[in-house]
């Protein structure tokens, strides 16, 4: 439960995404926010709260005409888009604001390797990473994948089947950036980025913006779209940011996060109709499946290869194609896809029949977050 007033998602929107669009952060913010406002049937003057992960909420508010704001926040270091979304929920639930936009804008940098090598502001962590060439997220993800393969029954073919299943969803999603047919052989022929992590295990870098609008149940009933309700939220932080020093790289914060998510509600993972689980790297989605209890620890690979995440499987998962295909949206795409699935009829051939309960998640390792949504 969120406490206080019941909160609903009433508007979602993207900017025009691309590998490198040449458009500014403010341009992407404006496109995404306008799309969400149109989706909801709201005007800028209806917005009295704004949360962002990255970017300046004051600049965004000024440009978009969200003034005056009763509440605003840039969350900074956090488990990606789930944090501004949860803060938006709490602002509405507590009465600090009535209608809040949560936003994420991301622009690709010329060389992320140079940014990480130039210093992360974590001198203690760096001594265990930089001398060994461990400079980028893909490198710790390679270590994580290697450890997962060692401890589980998963194989590289299972990872290939996961990639193929997600691309199958993406092929039916006009907003996905990667839609070309993909086979197991294509996956196994893709280069290693950080062995055993392959290119097709990584989210697709892009310039993009996304916005989600939260408001009260009472207000939501009068708006354009069927309301999608927030039933529960959870955040978990368990360790410092040195992924390589985690006491257990495979079972990390998602386990604690989901325990909190289910702790005060009557619903369980067995009630889920679909799941939108973070896939910055494909191994992370497998960890979330196991943390949910959808399959036993170490069994997510065979679960995926057996069709468990397909549209007709036990739990349709990442039905927009995931960040590996939709593009790196830092979790905002999962919130938007879960919302559309629960509205019904908005996901085309990817629509889960009679979907009523969905979960979307962000991040892994030291910190993570989850939000449970229902259609009624």
Which tops the pLDDT comparison, 198 or 254? Answer: 198
- Distances 19 to 126, 169, 324, 329 between C-alpha atoms, Å: 29, 20, 13, 12
pLDDT for res 273 = 99
C-alpha to C-alpha distances, 159 to 195, 196, 243, 282, nearest whole angstrom = 13, 10, 21, 7
Whether pLDDT at 17 is above 70: yes
pTM of the model: 0.93
Give the tens place of pLDDT for each residue, 195-231: 999 999 999 999 999 999 999 999 999 999 999 999 9
Helix (H, G, I), strand (E, B) or coil at 193: strand
208 has which bridge partners? 106
Task: Walk me through the domains of the chain, giving residue ranges and CATH numbers.
Answer: 1-107+207-225 (3.40.47.10), 139-203+231-376 (3.40.47.10)
Q: How far is CA 165 from the centre of its chain?
A: 18
Cα dist from 103 to 12, 60, 88, 140, 362, whole Å: 10, 9, 10, 27, 15
- For residue 333, CA distances in Å to 105, 143, 195, 319 come to 12, 26, 27, 10
Q: Band of the pLDDT at 116, cuts 50, 70, 90? A: very low
DSSP letters of 72-125?
EEE--SSSTTHHHHHHHHHHHHHTS-SEEEEEEEE---S-HHHHHHT--S-HHH
The percent of residues in the chain predicted with pLDDT above 90, rounded, is 75
How many alpha carbons lie under 13 Å from residue 45 in its C-beta half-sphere? 0
């Amino acid at each position: 439960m969120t406490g206080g007033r019941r909160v609903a998602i009433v508007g979602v929107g993207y900017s025009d995404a691309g590998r490198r669009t040449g458009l500014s952060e403010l341009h992407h913010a404006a496109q995404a926010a306008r799309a969400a406002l149109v989706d909801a049937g709201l005007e800028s003057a209806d917005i009295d709260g704004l949360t962002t992960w990255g970017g300046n909420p004051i600049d965004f508010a000024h440009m978009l005409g969200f003034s005056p704001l009763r509440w605003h926040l840039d969350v900074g270091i956090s488990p990606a888009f789930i944090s501004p979304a949860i803060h938006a929920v709490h602002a509405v639930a507590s009465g600090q604001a009535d209608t809040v936009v949560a936003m994420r804008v991301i622009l690709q940098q010329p060389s992320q390797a140079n940014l990480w090598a130039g210093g992360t502001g974590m001198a203690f962590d760096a001594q265990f990473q930089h001398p060994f060439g461990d400079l980028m997220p893909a490198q710790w993800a390679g270590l994580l994948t290697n450890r997962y393969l060692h401890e589980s029954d998963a194989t590289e073919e299972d990872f290939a089947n996961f990639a193929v299943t997600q691309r199958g969803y993406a092929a039916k999603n006009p907003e996905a950036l990667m839609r070309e047919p993909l086979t197991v052989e294509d996956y196994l022929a893709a280069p290693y980025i950080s062995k055993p992590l392959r290119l097709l295990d990584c989210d697709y870098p892009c310039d993009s913006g996304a916005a989600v609008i939260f408001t009260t149940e009472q207000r939501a009933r009068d708006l354009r779209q069927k309301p999608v309700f927030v039933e529960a939220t959870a955040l978990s932080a368990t360790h410092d940011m040195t992924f390589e020093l985690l006491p257990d790289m495979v079972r990390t914060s998602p386990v604690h996060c989901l325990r909190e998510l289910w702790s005060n509600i009557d619903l369980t993972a067995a009630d889920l109709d679909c799941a939108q689980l973070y896939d910055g790297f494909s191994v992370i989605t497998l960890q979330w499946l196991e943390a949910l209890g959808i399959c036993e620890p170490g069994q997510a690979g065979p679960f995926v290869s057996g069709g468990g995440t397909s549209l007709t499987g036990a739990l349709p998962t990442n039905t927009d194609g995931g960040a590996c295909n939709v593009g790196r949206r830092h979790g905002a795409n999962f919130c938007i896809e879960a919302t559309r699935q629960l509205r019904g009829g908005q996901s085309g051939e990817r629509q889960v029949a009679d979907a009523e309960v969905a979960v979307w998640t962000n991040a892994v390792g030291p910190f993570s977050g989850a939000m449970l949504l229902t259609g009624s």
